[in-house]
Structure formats: C-alpha cells, structure tokens
Amino acid sequence: MPVVYGQVDQQKTFFSEVIGQNIRKYRYESRRAIKDKDDQRLQFLFDSLVDHVVINSYLDNFKVRKFNGRRIELDHFEKPMYLITYADWCTPGVGELPALNDIVDKNHESIDFVILFWGPRRSVRKIKQRLNRKITVLFVNEKENDHSFIIKRMKHSLGFPTTFLLSQDQRIISVSRMLSHHYNLAYAASYNKHFQQFTQSVSLLKAQSISRLDSVK
C-alpha cells in the first residue's frame, strides 16, 4: 500500500526517498571497504551518508505493532524521540541496558524512548523483560507491514543497532551506530561507556529540540 502524504508533507524530504536515491553507491563502496578490511573507510562512508543525505530528512510515518499486538503509527509519539533499531542477533554489552534504563528514568518525561525490534516475538519478549517500562518496544513484522518498503530502507541501509534522534515532527537530527567491540568489557566499563554515549545523545536531542522551538516562535 503506498504512503499518502498531505500537502504539508509534500514539502518535506523523506528518509525513504533520500536513501533510495543514494543507497546503491553506498552499498557498492561499503562492500569494497569490507572486502579490503578497511574499517576507517567503512566508517567514513557511513558518516558521509548520514551527514550529507540523511540528516534533516524526515522519517516516514509507518505502522508497527506494540508488544501487546496493538498497531500504532510512528507519528503517534508527540515528544522528541530517541529511537533505537535492534534485531534478535544483536548482543548488547553487559552494561548497555542498565545504562539505558537509568537514562530513561531521568529523561522519559521530555523524550519518547522507543526500540524498534526486528525478529521473532519470543526474542522481543526476552529483551523487553530487561528494559525500563518507560521504553516503548515496537515489533516489526515485515510480512504484514503496510509500509514495508520504508522498513526495508531502515533495515538494509544503516544496519543494526542504530540510533535515530528525531524531533517532535520526525525530522532526523542525528544517526549513529551503537558502540562496537564492547562485548569483552567488564560491567563497570561497559556501563560507563554506554552511559556516556546515551547522555551525549540525549543532550544533543534536547538542545536541537529547544533550538527548533525557538526558531519557529
């Protein structure tokens, strides 16, 4: 089913559109970097795609299911959003989820924290049990999703796990990959590294949201 945009929406540049225009070249260059084992080049390509293509586009509205099975749309959320895309094959660091839970405790009144999860429902249940109740867990079933092309753009372009910082009107403020090479860290080191990363992202989201509000006054 195609997405139908209103007149105001037609003035925006959407994530699915800009990614669709640039993803082929990005994939080609990324495969070359992977083949050459050039991690620095791979990171450069990701950063360039984000900085020059993705930032300031708007994340398309689409329908997904909450864990309880109820379907909701992305624009259901009214606050600035801290969105993490996750999959059942992602392995969080030992201190990652505790750090995220503490960040959510301190900031949930001003930010919507959302995890968009790819994978079987039983895997969603396992990670949900470890998350702060203030985090909304959304479940992607690509077979039934009305906007599967948007879902696939998110899934196949930037990988997992990835963080999107979104303004109240779903403008993309920042995109970043979660910490890598953290699996062997002890709890304290893992917690501190992730807490620092989450704190920086929350600060950026709040600052950008305030700036955006001031600009429209």
pLDDT digits (tens, 9 = 90+) for 86-104: 887 788 889 999 999 999 9
pLDDT digits (tens, 9 = 90+) for 70-87: 888 888 999 999 999 888
- Above 90 in pLDDT, residue 165? yes
- Above 90 in pLDDT, residue 36? yes
- Above 80 in pLDDT, residue 195? yes
Residues 6+ apart with CB under 8 A from 164: 59, 81, 83, 84, 85, 172, 174, 175
Please tell me the number of Cα atoms within 13 Å of 116 on its side-chain side: 26
The model's pTM: 0.86
- Preceding amide of 92 cis, omega within 30: no
CA atoms of 29 and 41, how far apart (whole Å): 9
| φ and ψ of 179, to 5 deg | -55, 140
Q: What average pLDDT does range 12-39 have in this prediction?
A: 92
The reported pLDDT for the residue numbered 4 is 45
The reported pLDDT for the residue numbered 90 is 80
Angle 205-83-150 (CA atoms, 0-180°, nearest 5)? Answer: 120
Beta bridge partners of 164: 83, 175
Name which of 95, 112, 126 is nearest 195 in CA terms: 95
Residue 38 token pair: 């050039």
The reported pLDDT for the residue numbered 37 is 92
Mean pLDDT of the chain: 85
Q: Where are the domains of the chain?
A: 62-215
CATH 3.40.30.10 given to domain 62-215: yes
**Predicted confidence band of residue 147 (pLDDT cuts 50, 70, 90):** low
